[in-house]
Amino acid sequence: MPRDRKAHLPAPSLTSGLREVEPLPPVRLENVSKVYRDPMTLRPFTAVDGVSLTLERGEILGLLGPNGAGKTSTIKMILGLTRPTRGVIRIEGRDPWDSDARKRLGYLPENPCFYDHLGAAEYLDLVGALFGLSRVASRRRSEALLARLGLAAHARKPLRKFSKGMTQRLGICQALLNEPSLLVLDEPMSGLDPIGRAEAKQLLREERDKGTTILLSSHVLSETESLCDRVAILHRGRVHEVGGVSELLSSGVLEWEIAVDSLSDERAAILRSRGHSVQSVGRRWVVRVERESEVQEVLRDLVQERATIRSVEPRRESLEDYFVRALGADGRPAS
């Protein structure tokens, strides 16, 4: 994190009677709810239930949760595509329904779909015109973005011939065209190959370093973990927890993994009888030891056995582990 996240807060001044004006947060949701009605039965369904969330300038906040948690509904309300049933949403202090509030906003929808009849450059021309960019500025920016995302050679290709990954990369281009101060990305890594994901992550980090605030929803928790400054866990329309990734995850080591080349059946049985997990993985064995105090003892036994120890590694909690712990493996809260 390149900047002090609290830097925007005004310092209390004792010498001056004038208070410094506090900059408005990029996005603020206050007790926001969204209730849909089934068009046939008119039965209400609460998609978002009293969500309060404030994004801080220049941070990447991950919106996480199982399917149906309310992530996309929340994003659509932030974009002004749906209205909250209750509560208030503000982008830099403005109602998202006000089109001016979206001038410095970039949005990448989940599984983006663009006009088949256009080429990539034509589509970016359209987007540039919607942002009120001059033709020259729009072209310059779109050429740079297409080159950065590896689409320069495909600028004139009709979008109907684009692969999913190419469409996703074009989606990132159009989201960045107006040099946004707020980026809202719904599953930004979806459809990208490993190289594309690495490039996209690098690009997002650069945007964050420039001061862009990024809200991203994702179900690829391992990527979110390495990218986000904070995460908000949504479950059944409610914010289950918000915090820094490291704060949410238990800081301690879950277990130690010892990889060895060979292990006799007798020794494996002894280790199991002591409560350790022993598994054969390919031509190797992995011994998992929960308590750190027992690691030395196990290693001594393995050396006596003349087993070749390949690695000894601590395994810490991941966001996946957190999800299973906090919400239950099936997405239900653990009791």
Q: What is the DSSP letter of 19?
A: P
The tokens for 9 are: 């807060």
Between 55 and 302, CB nearer to other proteins:
55
45 binds other proteins (CB under 8 A): no
Per-position b or e across 207-226, b if 16+ CB within 10 A of its CB: bbeeebbbbbbbbbbebbbe
Binder among 132, 211, 314, 333 for other proteins (CB under 8 A): 132
Binder among 11, 14, 21, 113 for other proteins (CB under 8 A): 113
Residue range at the interface with other proteins (CB under 8 A); choices 73-81, 143-151, 206-214, 282-290: 73-81
Binder among 174, 190, 212, 213 for other proteins (CB under 8 A): 174
Binder among 103, 148, 240, 288 for other proteins (CB under 8 A): 103
**Rounded CA separation 196/199 (Å):** 5
Q: Please state the closest distance from residue 202 (CB atom) to other proteins, in A.
A: 23
95 binds other proteins (CB under 8 A): no
Between 150 and 158, CB nearer to other proteins:
158
164 binds other proteins (CB under 8 A): no
129 binds other proteins (CB under 8 A): yes
| Residue that has been written with the tokens 């996480």 in this structure | 64
Binder among 26, 65, 109, 188 for other proteins (CB under 8 A): 109
Binder among 57, 71, 90, 102 for other proteins (CB under 8 A): 102
Q: Which long-range contacts (CB under 8 A, 24 or more apart) does 328-332 make?
A: 331/66, 331/67, 331/235
Between 102 and 236, CB nearer to other proteins:
102
Q: Please state the closest distance from residue 23 (CB atom) to other proteins, in A.
A: 21
Between 77 and 271, CB nearer to other proteins:
77
**Rounded CA separation 51/55 (Å):** 13
35 binds other proteins (CB under 8 A): no
100 binds other proteins (CB under 8 A): yes
Q: Please state the closest distance from residue 235 (CB atom) to other proteins, in A.
A: 20
Q: Please state at what angle helix 120-130 crosses helix 135-148, rounded to 10 degrees.
A: 130
Q: Which long-range contacts (CB under 8 A, 24 or more apart) does 330-335 make?
A: 331/66, 331/67, 331/235, 333/235, 333/240
137 binds other proteins (CB under 8 A): no
76 binds other proteins (CB under 8 A): yes
Number of residues binding to other proteins, judged by CB under 8 A: 32
**Rounded CA separation 252/94 (Å):** 42
Q: Please state the closest distance from residue 170 (CB atom) to other proteins, in A.
A: 10
User: In degrees, to the nearest 5, what angle opens at C-alpha 59 toward C-alphas 237 and 130?
Assistant: 80
Between 114 and 162, CB nearer to other proteins:
114
First to last CA, the chain: 35
Binder among 3, 24, 36, 87 for other proteins (CB under 8 A): 36
Between 126 and 312, CB nearer to other proteins:
126
3 binds other proteins (CB under 8 A): no
Burial class (CB in 10 A: 0-12, 13-18, 19+), 237: buried
**232 - beta bridge partners?**
63, 242
Burial class (CB in 10 A: 0-12, 13-18, 19+), 145: buried
Would you call 44 helix, strand, or coil by DSSP?
strand
The tokens for 210 are: 């420039």
Footprint of other proteins (CB under 8 A):
36, 76, 79-83, 99-103, 105, 107, 109, 111-115, 117-118, 122, 126-127, 129-132, 171, 174, 184
